[in-house]
Amino acid sequence: MKKSVFVLSLFLVFCFAQASNHDFDYILMNLNWPGSQTNTFSSSIDHFTLHGLWPNYNSGSWPQYCTSEKFDKSDVDQDLMETWWTDVWSPSQEWSFWGHEWERHGTCLAEYDPVTKTQKGFFELGITLVSNLDFVGWLQEAGIKPSKTTSYKPADMLAAIKSHTEQDVFLGCGKIDGVEQVETIVLCFSKGEHEVMKCPDSAYSSWGKKCNYDNVYLYPINH
């Protein structure tokens, strides 16, 4: 009994230390494909858009709500945000979406990443990173174009992207209205330098097996 109590105490101490340490090991970027949704998007959206820029631990957990600083609308460029960081599920609720991303994740990135010490810096970093990733163009170079009639092998899509990023990314897929579709791309960046890096195994176990169909569709945006 004493041994069990001791082991439980050690576990609780570890969890508390992990939760209290807001520093992080790498940044995970989660991108959405608007074509997987039936919402109508602006003509300026012809690319994967940001869902989140999340500081993560190598263990697979993450810090969150690192400070009490609230989201400030005046710190974002609304036009740029609507183009690159749109809420693909509920475009009319974008302000609450951006507020959630800042307060839960951005506060931790800002606290420990030298480039993103402010809300403005956090959102600008996300937009800079995603706007430099031409996933649609890279896929088209390999003959993979958004279509409702032609499907593609996930491995071919991943290879086309890796030829530019030089690192593996993860595809997230789902069956939507009975059709296997690409929904997300996930990749990792180094802290500080913000260079694309190999994701830790913990990230792979969370994301890397979610596109396990033989073929998937990349539906056109506003189909």
Q: What is the pLDDT of residues 116-132, one digit of tens each?
A: 889 999 999 999 999 99
Q: 3-state DSSP call for residue 164?
A: helix
Give the pLDDT band of residue 12 (cuts 50, 70, 90).
Answer: very low
What's the CA gap between 74 and 66, in Å, rounded?
Answer: 21
- The residue type of 71 is F
87 by DSSP, 3-state: which? coil
Stretch (H or E) spanning 173:
strand 170-176
What pLDDT is stored for residue 14 in this prediction?
37
Residue 212 · residue 175 · CB < 8 Å: no
Contacts of 3 (CB under 8 A, 6+ apart): none
Q: Is the pLDDT of residue 20 over 80?
A: no
Element housing 182 (H / E): strand 179-190
All structural domains of the chain, each given as residue ranges with its CATH number in brackets, are: 21-207 (3.90.730.10)
- Who contacts 77 (Cβ-Cβ below 8 Å, separation ≥6)? 123
